Amino acid sequence: MSTNTGRVAIVTGGSRGIGREAAQRLASEGFPVVVNYAGNEAEAAKAVTTITEAGGRAIAFRADVSDPEAVAALFDAAEEEYGGVDVVVHAAGVMSDPTPIADTDFDLLDRVHRVNIRGTFAVDQQAARRVRDGGAIINFSTSVLGLSLPGYGVYAATKGAVEAITLILARELRGRDITVNAIAPGPTATDLFLTGKDEETIARMAAQPPLARLGRPTDIAEAVSFLAGPARWVNGQTIRVNGGIA
């Protein structure tokens, strides 16, 4: 366990997948963590239990990231429980089934836009106002954006916006010693990625990177740990954590 007890982290989407692994990694390094979740209270509780049983500190807090008032309440909870916020890992997001742009339903577009773009604005806005000097803001993009895969127009478009927000916010926070970066995972073995894919598709995608496997949530958590802690000279960047596929 690290001796870091002064820096506090919020992890959105922290109840499952990459967000949960990131929360557990930061907690193992001594961060008190607020595990945000949208609706799965049971999984959020499990994440908190895993952290506390390992000797860490964590609470769960429900908030829809696309609701600015709910996001403000999330930050309030972190400040009330732990005294402030130093690191924000915005891992919450949704992904749509691959659909050609010509066939895209606009209700789907609006739903993904609301969570991935509006949610990033809401979380980053509170982070910009409330993260203490010397902190870090970590957003999530996707390597799908760089690959320009057919069928992923909706998802890639929202993550392109995330990358733009990331660089602009980094520049807007000049003088406060706060870094703002994004992580763009490649195919990673989470429920979000695996659901709806057959074994052939999964095997084909696992073979794409030179390392010849799917990413693991722990791989992504390594990058989160780096950006949350020692990476003070990395700012305004998108790091493609994908095993080398692009």
Alpha carbons 152 and 132: distance in angstroms, whole number: 36
In a domain, 190, yes or no: yes
For residue 180, what is the domain's CATH number? Answer: 3.40.50.720
Among candidate residues 143, 133, 186, 141, the one with its CA nearest the CA of residue 166: 141
Write out 141-199 in H/E/C secondary structure.
Answer: CCCHHHHCCCCCHHHHHHHHHHHHHHHHHHHHCCCCCCEEEEEEECCECCHHHHCCCCH
Alpha carbons 136 and 123: distance in angstroms, whole number: 13
Q: How many domains are contained in the chain?
A: 1
In a domain, 122, yes or no: yes
Catalytic-residue membership of 155: yes
In a domain, 244, yes or no: no
> Which region, left, alpha or beta, applies to residue 151 given φ > 0 means left and ψ of -120 to 50 means alpha?
left
Cβ-count burial 85-106 (b if 16+ within 10 Å, e if not): bbbbbbbbbbbbeebeeeebee
In a domain, 42, yes or no: yes
In a domain, 58, yes or no: yes
In a domain, 114, yes or no: yes
User: What's the pLDDT score for residue 43?
Assistant: 95
Element (H, E) at 28: helix 17-28
Expressed as residue numbers, the domain containing 225 is: 9-239
Among candidate residues 95, 68, 59, 85, the one with its CA nearest the CA of residue 137: 85
- Residues with Cβ within 8 Å of residue 103, at least 6 apart in sequence: none
* Contact assessment for residue 123 and residue 116, using Cβ atoms and an 8 Å cutoff: no
In a domain, 199, yes or no: yes
Please give the average pLDDT of every successive group of 10 residues along the chain, which has 246 residues: 72 95 97 96 96 97 98 98 98 91 96 97 98 97 92 96 98 98 91 78 87 91 96 97 88
Question: How big is the chain, counted in residues?
Answer: 246
User: What's the pLDDT score for residue 246?
Assistant: 65
User: What's the pLDDT score for residue 2?
Assistant: 46
Q: Tell me whether residue 224 is exposed, middle or buried, using C-beta atoms within 10 angstroms of its C-beta: 0 to 12, 13 to 18, 19 or more.
A: buried
In a domain, 1, yes or no: no
User: What's the pLDDT score for residue 5?
Assistant: 54
Alpha carbons 214 and 4: distance in angstroms, whole number: 32
